[in-house]
Chain A
Amino acid sequence: MNENATSEPIIQVRDLEVSYGDFKVLKGVSFDVMRGETFVILGGSGCGKSTLLRNLVGLMRPAAGRILINGQDFTAMSDNDRMEIRKRMGMCFQGSALFGSMTVGDNVALPLREHTKLEESTIDIMTKIKLELVGLGGFEGFMPSELSGGMKKRAGLARAMAMDPKMIFYDEPSAGLDPIVAAGLDMLIRKMQSTFNLTSIVVTHEMSSVELIADRVCFLKNGEVVAIGTREEIAASGHPFVQQFMARRPEDEGSDREDYLRSLTGA
Chain B
Amino acid sequence: MTAFVGTTGRLALNSLYAVARVCVLVVDTLQWAFVAPLRGKGLRVRSTIEQFVEIGVNSLPIVLLITFLIGAIMAMQSSYQLARFGATRYIANLVGVAALRELAPLMTAILITGRSGSAITAEIGTMKVAEEIDALEVMGLNPTKFLVVPKFLAMMMAVPCVTVLAMLSMIIGGFALTTVVIGLDASMYIEQTAGALVPKDLVTGMVKSVFFALTISWVGVYRGFQVEGGAEGVGKRTTSSVVTSIFLIIIVDLIFTVLFYFV
- Interface residues of chain A, those whose CB is within 8 Å of chain B, are 54, 57-59, 83-84, 86-87, 89-91, 93-95, 97-101, 110-111, 114-115, 159, 163
Contacts and interface: CB of A to CB of B under 8 A. Distances in A.
B100 to A, nearest CB: 37
A153 to B, nearest CB: 13
B228 to A, nearest CB: 11
A57 B134 CA distance: 10
B26 to A, nearest CB: 18
A59 B130 contact: no
Nearest to B136: A99
Contact of B134 (A59, A98, A159): A59
B12 interface: no
Given A89-B138, A100-B132, A115-B140, 19 more contacts: A54-B134, A59-B137, A83-B140, A86-B137, A86-B140, A87-B140, A90-B138, A91-B138, A93-B131, A95-B130, A97-B134, A98-B132, A98-B135, A99-B127, A101-B123, A110-B141, A111-B141, A114-B140, A163-B139
20 contacts: A54-B134, A59-B134, A59-B137, A83-B140, A86-B138, A86-B139, A91-B135, A93-B134, A93-B135, A95-B130, A97-B130, A97-B134, A97-B135, A98-B135, A100-B126, A100-B127, A110-B139, A114-B141, A115-B140, A163-B139
Interface of B: 123, 126-127, 130-132, 134-135, 137-141
Nearest to A79: B142
A96 B134 CA distance: 11
B33 to A, nearest CB: 17
A86 B138 CA distance: 6
A267 B16 CA distance: 45
A99 B132 contact: yes
A159 B139 CA distance: 9
Q: Which of B130, B134, B140 counts the most chain A CB atoms within 10 A?
A: B140
A59 B138 contact: yes
Contacts of B135: 91, 93, 97-99, 159
Q: Which of B126, B130, B139 counts the most chain A CB atoms within 10 A?
A: B139
Contacts of B123: 101
Nearest to B42: A114
B140 A97 contact: no
A59 B139 CA distance: 11
A95 B131 contact: yes
Nearest to B131: A97
A87 B140 CA distance: 6
A83 B141 CA distance: 8
Given A95-B131, A97-B132, A100-B132, A57 B138 contact: yes
Contacts of A111: 139-141
